[in-house]
Structure 1
């Protein structure tokens, strides 16, 4: 399993060296977009709409839009300074709480925490202490230069860290147009409660599947087996295309310029030509 971060868990004076691994993965099937006519994959270029030209990463700066079309530009030195000030490779547990006290809306992404070299005993100690206490740790961590709020809890026999949203990142419901009780009758409520009771069962994660993804995979395999496939033509590189266009323009301009020169050159040559001696007009010539 890929190690994406190395650091430590700290609570009180205890420090546990750990490694961080992504606990979940996105199983969505990524579909490419092709040109319908030639089946070439479509690429998206970075183009400045103001200058109407393609730009590279070196031409881009980061900025914060504080009003419509008004920005504060932040250079790399500004951001690097903040990164160094907050680049602490530590999961600092600051509180212990009960899991049920945190609403699921706060949870974001899950990571496995594994002990790093020399951290086995302290890792086991924290794991057993969390099990026996029935508590989870609330912590702070820096991931990719961003401060994250997180919880550390036991999952199976592993310490699991889940990043959670800060309170100001969770939107309020005040702007939503919600119904009142709509005079729900006792009979309607009892029927709904009966239905909930009939459908109540212990949660078993293995029985839930992404049926759409399975059907899509089956469809793709059927088409592939039936040779219902296409092959992309070689895509021309944007830079090469641009050079060809510029070259053709230059060649055409050169051709046009060359076409005009013979007329001018001929006129210039004729002008200084030595006149023929005047012999007078012959009588038979009109």
Structure 2
């Protein structure tokens, strides 16, 4: 695991240096969007609604609008806020653990000692265990001030961020205002049903069936060959295109040799020279193709995948020939030197 935050837990004069780690992770299969017709990756661009231009990320600020006016908040404004500079988990109070309703919990983090001695860390952990208390703390995390609960989880101290009180909605439903009568017999039968299903909670025995079936589906498609070359979804040329080009070159060489044996020395010489240039240019094309593939993949332009799919390999071929002009220029210089 990689620490997402470093600081110290402080209460009174006690200071406990710690590292913060995410305690949970999402197990969902990661999916992305593609064009249904050709499988090309879908890219989104940040476009200014005033001039219609694509805006680089570094030129984007945040803003707040109240309906009629908009206030722009720059990165400098956010960095000036004191909360972002804080590196302390400040203990505000210790409360009975049962008083914190689970609806308040948001995200969980493990705390690891970050000092030569873990004595202060262990002392705080044992204190919380023996008193059955949870520490309510405040901290700055990801540019926001957080309210959190500091508690014990096994042998580890854990911080669980809490929702602010105004972030929890009131449960007000008219249907619950009705006076409903429950008979003692109905209540007794309901209790019996509960007792028949009583068990200890074992989270490992529960499986996300949807995700399991999705992974099975993906595996089956891969095994059946029902998949695309990933490079092609970024608009890069598939390897088959280069293989076809090699076959064409071999056929050209055969025709050149046949023409030379037939006595056409002038044509044969040109064919041989042409064949050599084609071989060299093919090698250069291979390099250019791999280079263009890298740039195409890293560029991330939304239109590149569509252009590759719509225009076919024919649109890329001229670019490759242009890149191969430099070796041809070198051969011309060699011929002049020989003459």
User: TM-score if structure 1 supplies the norm length?
Assistant: 0.77
Distance 1:164 1:240, change over 3 A: closer
* Larger Cα-atom Rg: 1
Report if aligned partners of 1:64, 1:72 keep a CA contact under 8 Å in 2: yes
User: Structure 2 stretches of 5 or more lacking a match?
Assistant: 236-295, 308-339
What does residue 223 of structure 2 align with? 225
Pairing of 1:104-123 with structure 2 (within 5 A):
104-123=102-121
Distance 1:234 1:156, change over 3 A: closer
CA distance in 2, matches of 1:59, 1:88: 27
3-state DSSP class of the match of 1:47? coil
CA distance in 2, matches of 1:119, 1:98: 29
What does residue 140 of structure 1 align with? 138
Query: How many pairs align?
Result: 239
Deviation at 1:229, TM superposition (A): 1.2
What does residue 190 of structure 2 align with? 192
Report if aligned partners of 1:86, 1:142 keep a CA contact under 8 Å in 2: yes
Report if aligned partners of 1:107, 1:163 keep a CA contact under 8 Å in 2: yes
What does residue 24 of structure 2 align with? 24
Report if aligned partners of 1:112, 1:160 keep a CA contact under 8 Å in 2: yes
Task: Find 2:202's aligned residue among 188, 201, 204.
Answer: 204
CA distance in 2, matches of 1:15, 1:228: 58
Distance 1:52 1:188, change over 3 A: farther
Moved more, 198-207 or 20-29: 198-207
3-state DSSP class of the match of 2:110? strand
Deviation at 1:95, TM superposition (A): 0.7
1:48 is the counterpart of 2:48 = yes
CA distance in 1, matches of 2:193, 2:12: 49
Deviation at 1:7, TM superposition (A): 0.6
What does residue 101 of structure 1 align with? 99
User: TM-score if structure 2 supplies the norm length?
Assistant: 0.66
CA distance in 1, matches of 2:4, 2:96: 28
- Which is richer in helix? 2
Deviation at 1:131, TM superposition (A): 1.0
- Which is richer in strand? 1
Deviation at 1:239, TM superposition (A): 8.5
CA distance in 2, matches of 1:226, 1:145: 47
